[in-house]
A and B are shown apart, each in its own frame.
Chain A
Amino acid sequence: MNGIETRRRSTKAILYVLLAVILVLYGFPFVYLLLTSFKTPSEAIAVPPSVVPDVWTLENYVAALAKEGVVPALVNSVVTAVLSTLFSLVLAVPAAYAVTRYRTPSGRVFVLAALVTRMVPTIAIGAPLVETMRALGISDTSFALAIAHTTISLPLSIWLMASFFEAIPDELEEAAKMDGASRLGALWRVVLPVVSGGLAVTAIFAFLASWNEFLFALLLTSVRAQTTPIVIANFQTQFGLDWGAMTALAAVYSLPVILLTLALQRHIVAGLTLGAVKG
């Protein structure tokens, strides 16, 4: 019970109605996308538009997945996002731990600097990175794209992990060290299991940041490593305005992550709001 919760039944009823209206408006666009993906390609662009399909069909899904480059792009998206998530966690966990446990001025500067990277326009890093990746001989690979995506997710991951580490009392590690564990041993065996929920949240954010990213993928990949957002965007130029297939691929791409994150939503809300509310 929070201070704002209302006790009056009539107020509650009005609020529920208002909320229902907002949610219908909010939910409609994606529901409409799903419904459209099951229409025939011609019904998808019929005038006037229908909401519910006249004929339910998987035609758009078959057409979308059969298009050249679509399946490899889905594979690339998974590979890139998994790699980037790994890079992000491996780099963020020790950094966040050091920042929260040693509380040095350089640590604060570091966290601030990490946040400032969020203000840098993607193109300012992306264009020089194209040359860097070429120099490293990894142009147009998922590995290179994963590195670029990690520049987005790493600052956020450090921030998130730092707030999770903050919540752990120092005594926990002191006890482990009394029992003869090294600092690293204490981190690995005592602290990490306690923040496993926080790790999961951080991993999901890093994964989503890579999964949904567009501009780095546009600049750093051409054929081999192309990810799905680029392919979806190309539906409009390369194949004309193929709305039916576009809605089908968009559904295939979005629905799994929506369902996954909704299943884990309690943790995610915690992760989203932790840093902000602590101020």
Chain B
Amino acid sequence: MAPAALFLAAFVLWPLVRFVSNAFYDISPIAGGPRTPVGLQNFIDAFASASFQGASVRTVVYTFVVVSLEFAIGLVVALIFAALGRRSAVFRTVFMYPLMIAPVVAGLLWRFLLVDNFGIVNEILVRAGILESSSQVGWLSDPKIALFSVALPDIWLTTSFITLVLFAGLQTIPGEILEAARIDGARFPTMLFRVIIPLLRPVIAVALIVRGIDAARAFDIILIQTNGGPQESTTTLSLLIYRTMTRYGDIGLASAMGTIYLIGMLLVASVAVTAIWRPGEAR
């Protein structure tokens, strides 16, 4: 345990301590430049900044969209797999493949699919008679819908994870319980909401928390599609922090934003753990 603990201390904890402490300084972007302690000024600036507020809201919306759609699709597919039993093995394999693809590749691929004019998605919608012209919907160029469009590759990439976790959880539900419910005359929706989902609660909690954390950190998949645009409509916190640090060179402010983000994540995650994980409690 010691070597791993030392490694994490040196390359995670120590950088993190430096990052958080940077939040209390005004730091010159030139390497070796002056550091002036400014107390909580960076935090005050961060909370007061419209882009920080906007990015926070967008991060929450993005995470909510990704996780709720992934959960809905993931659960439906997991139930289909379970209902088909052993025969579903081949389908499970195929369904898993996007998990291996780099987010950068997924982002570029979806940008290619969604682009107006030569994008295949709009072309299919035109052929199906849903759209009139292939430039009618600008998935990634219309600020009103861009935040939802950039979420598509993330959903495509990682729904399989939720499906696999829920499928494995479904295997652990004893057949007798479902049989008993069936004999009591329970129909499928009742079984799903009264028996299956409550029994799966710890598994669902793990799947949602893991995916929620990762979706809230999403960076490359958004960067490669829109670079935060159009008009900042897809600038989530991770992009804003990156830009504040590298493009504007304001290390202190970026560190304050990152620190607030981290504290927020810890709070939400611990609330989520206690609220939905808690095993053994009557629903």
Contact = CB atoms under 8 A, between A and B. Distances in A.
B46 to A, nearest CB: 14
Contacts of A119: 213, 217, 262, 265-266, 269
A33 interface: yes
Contacts, number: 263
Contact of A118 (B14, B85, B213): B213
Given A32-B120, A158-B4, A120 B134 contact: no
B258 A262 contact: no
Contact of A117 (B12, B19, B108, B219): B12
Nearest to B175: A3
Contact of A15 (B84, B96, B207, B279): B84
Interface string B82-94: 1111001001111
Contact of A261 (B100, B210, B266): B100
A123 B245 contact: yes
* SS of B interface (majority): helix
Contacts of A27: 94, 97
25 contacts: A1-B85, A2-B173, A3-B173, A4-B170, A4-B196, A6-B84, A22-B95, A48-B134, A99-B1, A117-B8, A117-B12, A119-B265, A119-B266, A124-B19, A128-B18, A128-B22, A154-B8, A214-B220, A247-B112, A250-B105, A254-B102, A272-B161, A275-B206, A276-B206, A276-B207
Given A107-B1, A117-B8, A232-B104, 9 more contacts: A2-B175, A19-B77, A121-B261, A124-B255, A125-B19, A128-B16, A129-B11, A233-B104, A265-B93
Interface of B: 1, 3-5, 7-8, 11-12, 14-16, 18-19, 22, 77, 79-80, 82-85, 88, 91-105, 108-110, 112-113, 117-120, 123, 126, 134, 156, 161, 164-165, 167-179, 196, 202-203, 206-207, 210, 213-214, 217, 219-220, 223-224, 237-238, 241-242, 245, 251, 254-255, 258-259, 261-262, 265-266, 269, 277, 279
